[in-house]
Each structure stands twice: as structure tokens, then as C-alpha cells.
């Protein structure tokens, strides 16, 4: 008998922001596994459901937990905020899943912070863009620097995930200094905090001011390309239509 | 009285792949406006609803239609496939909306082809990535070239939108030749066709073979970074966890 694990992106936060399919899959699952913060976002909408978790740094243990629950014959959902395939658990689930060939894996996509935050700020990502994480826990900082410079030189709009943490308070400043080598200090930027959750905030600013702005780990940062402008209080990267 | 236009990303195709909020907003709208192909994706799920459209190249007209319907006091949804903010209508709606200051605009995000296609293929975008459109209708080809080279040199995973059309049949080949200046011919790549719709297909291949593969305008292309690998038939870009 073939058992199944779903890896479900629950979107930015509010239950309404997950897809209709994600909501159905969670309702049909016997057990839902995830980081406690994510479980707290869905628990009230799924009364009577069994929830399991592991601490924040124990991602691989959490994956093994999912497969071993599935081996008991249960339908399992592993939940991630945003989309499971963007800095989420989808990759690790495949890697660990290679040791559980009898378990089928299905990724259920969700709205990631890049597009949820873009919708909050206006339309910053309607042209080519890069998504870069400033976390150097799993990536050498030199590679992050190289990507920031390449993205800026080729005039991409840029969306930054994990722009700060307690141990990395000056990383956004360092990233801005790199981008300022190619992008104008007047480049339109925006930040979204607690996107799609209680306490949601947004703010537009120049790249020069972003450099000196404090952000936290719940912030997603948007840096425009050279065409990005402010329209009626929104951050807008034009696609180039001529008949506006 | 303030009227409202929603710009709604309906996700890749199947009604179940839009968010719970998007489905609610469409149900609450008086009129739904969009390109005919998108209207056909939702029509059967919204019986009795009024639908309006304009031909494919008349995007600005479609936007003005939305605002003028809202000025009549109606609740309007402009629909886009995927996410309205990724090569969608969100930017143009803000630009044209500047002439309709009495109408409020809200962008309702959706699952874009990058994340829907990633979920179909495995987990190709779990590390830093670039999204690049190969359409030069609104963008000079020289800029697209520059971005392809920059993304490849800095070892980003790359997701290509609009990889081909009747007039641009050799663009994917040209793009691959550029990426091959920095990426290995063995780089793991994947394509998704009709993602989330009837007739969905997927295929993994090397960058060398992608170069000689025919794609159509309903295809989204994924090019791995140097770490991307095939795991149990899926395209996986590892995040770098050590305890796999």
C-alpha cells in the first residue's frame, strides 16, 4: 500500500491566503507537522486535528517524523509558511524522502512572501526579478555578495528574504552598500512586515534610506529596478506598456 | 462613495489552486474582467456572474474597462493567471488607476508559475533564484541577454517565463547558449507545460538538451544552479542542510 506525504505551503499567514487545495489537503490529513509558529497559524481552523512539531533547528528530524508517520499508514501534511519550495522544506523532504521509497511525496504550492509582499506594496515584481536570502547559516556570505552585485548590475528588481536576525543586524546595510555600487540611491524600495498576518505593516523608501532602516526576521524587503516608481503611494515596476 | 477594483491572481489554472480569498473575492464581485482564456478557467465555477473581456493586446483598454465599471458603483475583479504581480496586470492597473483617484485598488496575490511549476518538478527554487521573461515585446533583447548572463555567472537557479512564441521560436536556444557560458552543460533543468491545467506535462533534462528542446508559450522552464540534482525523479536544489 502506498502512503502519501503532502508538503503544503500555507501562504503568508491568514488561513484565507492558502489555496483552496491546501485547505482541503489539511482537512483530509490525519496528522499535520510543522514548526510551532506555523501550526499556531492554522490550528484554530482545524479542530480535532493532530499536530506534531520539532524545534526550529531540527528540520531534518521534522522531515523524518513526517515519513515515519506516513509509514504507519496515515496521511501526513508537512506545512511551511509561504511556498514550500521557496526557502521551504520541499527540497529537504525530497532528499530525506530518498530513504523512504514507499512514500509518495506531493508538493502543494502556496503564495510566497515575494508575491504576497509585492501585492501589499503595489506591483514591484512585474518585471524580471531575483529572490535572495541574506541568511548565511547555510550559504557562504561571499556567494550572497556575488548574487547581490550581479542582480544589481543587471538592473533586476530584488526581493530579499531573511534580511536580518539577532546575530545579523547589519546584513541589510551591507547588502544595500553592495547594491548601491550599481543602483541609484534614489531607487524605490519597500518593506513589508508580518505580511498577511496580524500587525501587518508596509513602508516605501529610497535605497539610501533602506540602508539605515532596521528590519527584523519577519520583514521582506523589495528593491526596485531603475524604472520602478511610486504611483499613488504604491511601489510599481512598469512592464513597459506604451499606451498607458 | 468609494468603489473598489480587485486585481486577482487566480493561480496556474484549476479553480482549486487559487487562494480561499481569491475565490471569495470573485464570488463577491459584480463583474469579472480578464483575457478570455482566463475567464474560461473560472466561468463554470461562478454561475450567473457577468464577465467582460478585451482582445489579448488590449491590456490598457481592459484596465480602463475595470475602472469605468467600478465608477458605476460595481465591485470589479480583474483576473490574471498565476499572480497578478508577476508579469501580470497589477503594475498597469496602478499606472492607469492614477487617473481614477476615487477607485480603490487591492491586489490579491496568487500562486505564480514559478512556484506552481517548481512544485510539479520537485524543488528547483529552494535557494536564491531569478525570474526572467524571454519575451522582447516590451523589453529590449540586449537587457534580457545581460540578465541571463548575470544570473548564470552568479550561479542563480533561473525560472524562464514566456520561453517561446510563434515569432520567437529560437529564443530558448539563444538563452541556453548564453547560460552555457557560465553553467555546465550537465546542469539539471526541467520544463512544465500547462501547469495546473488539463494536459499538464513535465520533463527533466540537462541544459545541453534543453537547448535543443522545442517549447511553446504554455511552458515554464527551470534551470538549476550548480548544486541542483535529480532525487527520486525530482529536480531538487538543496538548501544546504548538513544533517540529511
- Residues B107, A119: C-beta atoms closer than 8 Å: yes
**Which cell numbers hold the place of B77?**
475583479
Share of chain B above pLDDT 70, in %: 99
Whole-angstrom distance, CA of residue B60 vs CA of residue B195: 27
* DSSP 8-state symbol, A17: G
B213 or A240, which is more confident: B213
Question: In chain B, which residue's Cα lies nearest the Cα of A237?
Answer: B91
The C-alpha of A86 sits at a distance from chain B's nearest C-alpha, in angstroms, of 5
List CB contacts (< 8 A) between A59 and chain B.
Answer: 241
- Residues B94, A153: C-beta atoms closer than 8 Å: no
Nearest CB neighbour to A236, from listed B94, B124, B144 = B94
Question: In chain B, which residue's Cα lies nearest the Cα of A152?
Answer: B150
Interface test with A, best of B89, B94, B192 (most A CBs within 10 A): B94
Mean pLDDT of chain B: 95
- What residue has cell string 557562504? A140
CA B158 to chain centroid: 13
Nearest CB neighbour to B16, from listed A20, A143, A150 = A20
Q: Is the pLDDT of residue A1 over 60?
A: no
Residue ranges in A154-233 assigned as alpha helix (H): 171-179, 207-210
User: How many C-alpha atoms does A76 have within 13 Å on its Cβ side?
Assistant: 27
User: How many C-alpha atoms does A11 have within 13 Å on its Cβ side?
Assistant: 30
List CB contacts (< 8 A) between B147 and chain A.
Answer: 128, 154-156
Nearest CB neighbour to B123, from listed A94, A153, A236 = A94
Q: Is the pLDDT of residue A57 over 80?
A: no
- Based on C-alpha coordinates, what's the Rg of chain A? 19
Question: In chain B, which residue's Cα lies nearest the Cα of A12?
Answer: B109
- Angle among Cα A107, B27, B96 to the nearest 5 degrees reads 90
Q: Is the pLDDT of residue B242 over 60?
A: yes
A106-151 pLDDT, tens digit each:
999 999 999 999 999 999 999 999 999 999 989 999 999 999 999 9
What sign has the CA pseudo-torsion B175, B180, B186, B188? negative
Q: For residue B20, which phi and psi values (nearest 5 degrees)?
A: -55, -40
| Cross-sheet strand order for the sheet of B122-123 | B122-123, B234-236, B229-231
Whole-angstrom distance, CA of residue B202 vs CA of residue B193: 6
Q: For residue B32, which phi and psi values (nearest 5 degrees)?
A: -120, 125
Nearest CB neighbour to B87, from listed A18, A126, A153 = A126
Q: Is the pLDDT of residue B61 over 60?
A: yes
Tell me: domain A114-236, CATH 3.30.950.10, correct?
Answer: yes
According to CATH, the superfamily of the domain at A3-111 is Tetrapyrrole methylase, N-terminal domain (3.40.1010.10)
- Residues B128, A131: C-beta atoms closer than 8 Å: yes
- Residues A126, B241: C-beta atoms closer than 8 Å: no
State the average pLDDT over residues B107-111.
98
Q: Could you tell me the pLDDT band of residue A232, with boundaries at 50, 70 and 90?
A: very high
State the average pLDDT over residues B156-165.
95
State the average pLDDT over residues A102-109.
96
- Do B97 and A123 contact (CB within 8 A), yes or no? no
Q: Could you tell me the pLDDT band of residue B67, with boundaries at 50, 70 and 90?
A: very high
State the average pLDDT over residues A68-73.
95
Q: For residue A147, which phi and psi values (nearest 5 degrees)?
A: -70, -40
Region of A73 on the Ramachandran plot (φ > 0 left; ψ -120 to 50 alpha; else beta): left
Instruction: Kindly list the distances between the CA atom of residue A150 and the CA atoms of A183, B90, B155, B207, in Å, as whole numbers in the listed order.
Output: 11, 26, 10, 21
| ipTM of the prediction | 0.96
- Residues B116, A109: C-beta atoms closer than 8 Å: yes
Residue A2's pLDDT is 59
State the average pLDDT over residues A168-188.
96
| Cross-sheet strand order for the sheet of A103-108 | A50-52, A31-33, A76-80, A3-9, A103-108
Q: Could you tell me the pLDDT band of residue B49, with boundaries at 50, 70 and 90?
A: very high
Residues A190-220 as b/e (b if ≥16 CB within 10 A, e otherwise) read bbbbbbbeeebebebbebeebbebebeebbb
Helix (H) or strand (E) holding B160: strand B157-161
Nearest CB neighbour to B17, from listed A19, A92, A127 = A19
- Do A98 and A27 contact (CB within 8 A), yes or no? no
Residue A181's pLDDT is 98
Interface test with B, best of A5, A21, A91, A116 (most B CBs within 10 A): A91
The C-alpha of B115 sits at a distance from chain A's nearest C-alpha, in angstroms, of 6
- Residues A241, B124: C-beta atoms closer than 8 Å: no
The C-alpha of A159 sits at a distance from chain B's nearest C-alpha, in angstroms, of 10
- Do B186 and B206 contact (CB within 8 A), yes or no? yes
Helix (H) or strand (E) holding A185: none
Instruction: Kindly list the distances between the CA atom of residue A202 and the CA atoms of A231, B8, B85, in Å, as whole numbers in the listed order.
Output: 15, 20, 17
Residues 6+ apart with CB under 8 A from B60: A241, A243, A244, B92, B96
Instruction: Delimit the CATH 3.30.950.10 region(s) of chain B.
Output: 114-236
Whole-angstrom distance, CA of residue A118 vs CA of residue A210: 17
Nearest CB neighbour to A91, from listed B9, B84, B236 = B236
Residue B2's pLDDT is 59
Nearest CB neighbour to B23, from listed A20, A105, A237 = A20
- Residues B231, A154: C-beta atoms closer than 8 Å: no
Question: In chain A, which residue's Cα lies nearest the Cα of B83?
Answer: A115
Neighbour count for residue B135 (Cβ, 10 Å)? 20
List CB contacts (< 8 A) between B98 and chain A.
Answer: 231-232
The C-alpha of B201 sits at a distance from chain A's nearest C-alpha, in angstroms, of 15
Q: Is the pLDDT of residue B165 over 90?
A: no
Instruction: Delimit the CATH 3.40.1010.10 region(s) of chain B.
Output: 3-111
Which residue, among B157, B132, B135, has the nearest Cα to B146 in the 3D structure?
B132
State the average pLDDT over residues B77-106.
96
List CB contacts (< 8 A) between B94 and chain A.
Answer: 122-123, 231-232, 234, 236
**Which cell numbers hold the place of B26?**
470573485
Question: In chain A, which residue's Cα lies nearest the Cα of B102?
Answer: A232
Interface test with B, best of A126, A139, A233 (most B CBs within 10 A): A126
Question: In chain A, which residue's Cα lies nearest the Cα of B25?
Answer: A16
Nearest CB neighbour to B119, from listed A59, A85, A236 = A85
Whole-angstrom distance, CA of residue A141 vs CA of residue A118: 26
Amino acid at each position: 500500500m502506498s502512503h502519501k506525504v503532502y508538503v503544503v505551503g500555507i501562504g503568508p499567514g491568514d488561513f484565507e491566503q492558502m489555496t483552496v487545495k491546501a485547505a482541503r489537503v489539511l482537512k483530509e490529513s490525519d496528522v499535520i507537522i510543522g514548526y510551532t509558529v506555523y501550526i499556531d497559524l492554522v490550528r484554530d481552523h482545524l479542530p480535532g486535528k493532530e499536530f506534531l512539531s520539532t524545534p526550529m533547528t531540527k528540520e531534518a528530524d521534522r522531515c523524518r517524523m513526517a515519513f515515519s508517520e506516513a509509514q504507519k499508514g496515515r496521511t501526513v501534511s508537512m506545512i511551511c509558511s509561504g511556498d514550500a519550495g521557496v526557502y521551504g522544506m520541499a527540497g529537504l523532504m525530497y532528499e530525506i524522502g530518498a530513504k523512504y521509497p514507499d512514500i509518495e511525496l506531493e508538493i502543494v504550492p502556496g503564495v510566497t512572501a515575494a508575491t504576497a509582499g509585492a501585492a501589499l506594496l503595489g506591483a514591484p515584481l512585474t518585471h524580471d526579478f531575483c529572490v535572495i536570502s541574506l541568511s548565511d547559516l547555510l550559504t557562504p556570505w561571499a556567494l550572497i555578495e556575488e548574487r547581490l552585485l550581479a542582480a544589481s548590475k543587471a538592473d533586476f528588481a530584488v526581493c530579499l528574504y531573511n534580511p536580518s536576525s539577532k546575530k545579523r543586524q547589519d546584513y541589510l546595510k551591507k547588502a544595500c552598500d553592495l547594491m548601491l555600487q550599481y543602483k541609484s540611491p534614489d531607487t524605490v524600495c519597500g518593506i513589508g512586515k508580518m505580511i498577511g498576518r496580524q500587525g501587518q505593516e508596509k513602508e516605501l523608501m529610497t535605497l539610501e534610506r533602506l540602508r539605515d532602516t532596521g528590519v527584523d526576521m519577519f520583514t521582506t524587503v523589495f528593491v526596485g529596478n531603475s524604472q520602478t516608481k511610486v504611483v499613488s503611494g504604491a511601489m510599481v515596476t512598469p512592464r513597459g506598456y506604451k499606451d498607458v
